[in-house]
């Protein structure tokens, strides 16, 4: 079966603030028919963070395109600035924080996919917006 290329605009990706910041999945199973992972953009205003969690099936690639973030990897602080990336290994607890005075933006990619979307993230601290809907990553486009 041959896949059809899809172009998806960031503005068309639904924002999600459940874990903090603004997460938009741009290319994934639901938006583009991806079968091996998903990618998107994280935006953090000054003082914002993404709550700690881990991915039992995926490693995460995080590349900062604007500003700087502190990635807490199993509790260890790692500074990542614009033009730098960090690999979060499978199963590693992590959170992302913006301690700067300007917004930070990062592109992320996770792969491989979990067997089902609800198994993709395990939260290890309270969510800042638990009532917000779960991000729609999996399922057919």
Structural domain boundaries of the chain?
37-103+120-125
**Residue-wise burial string across 4-40, b where 16 or more C-beta atoms lie within 10 A, e elsewhere:** eeeebeeeebeebbbbbbbbbbbbbbbbbebeebbbb
Q: What is the mean pLDDT of residues 129-140?
A: 69
pLDDT tens column, 50-98? 999 999 999 999 999 999 999 999 999 999 999 999 999 999 999 999 9
> What pLDDT is attached to residue 118?
87
Superfamily holding 37-103+120-125: Jelly Rolls (2.60.120.10)
9-27 pLDDT, tens digit each: 999 999 999 999 999 999 9
What is 107-132 written as a DSSP string?
A: EEEEESPPSSGGGS-EE-S--SSTTS
């Amino acid at each position: 079966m041959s896949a059809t290329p899809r172009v998806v605009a960031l503005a068309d990706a639904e924002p999600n603030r459940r874990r903090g910041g603004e997460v938009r999945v741009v290319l994934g199973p639901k938006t583009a028919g991806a079968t091996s992972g998903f990618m998107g953009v994280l935006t953090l205003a000054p003082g914002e963070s993404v709550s700690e969690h881990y991915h039992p099936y995926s490693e995460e690639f995080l590349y900062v395109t604007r500003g700087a973030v502190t990635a807490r990897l199993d509790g260890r602080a790692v500074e990542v600035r614009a033009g730098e990336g960090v690999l979060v290994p499978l199963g590693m607890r992590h959170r992302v924080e913006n301690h700067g005075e300007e917004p930070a933006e990062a592109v992320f990619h996770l792969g491989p996919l979990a067997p089902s979307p609800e198994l993709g993230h395990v939260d290890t601290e309270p969510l800042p917006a638990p009532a917000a809907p779960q991000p729609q990553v999996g399922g057919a486009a």
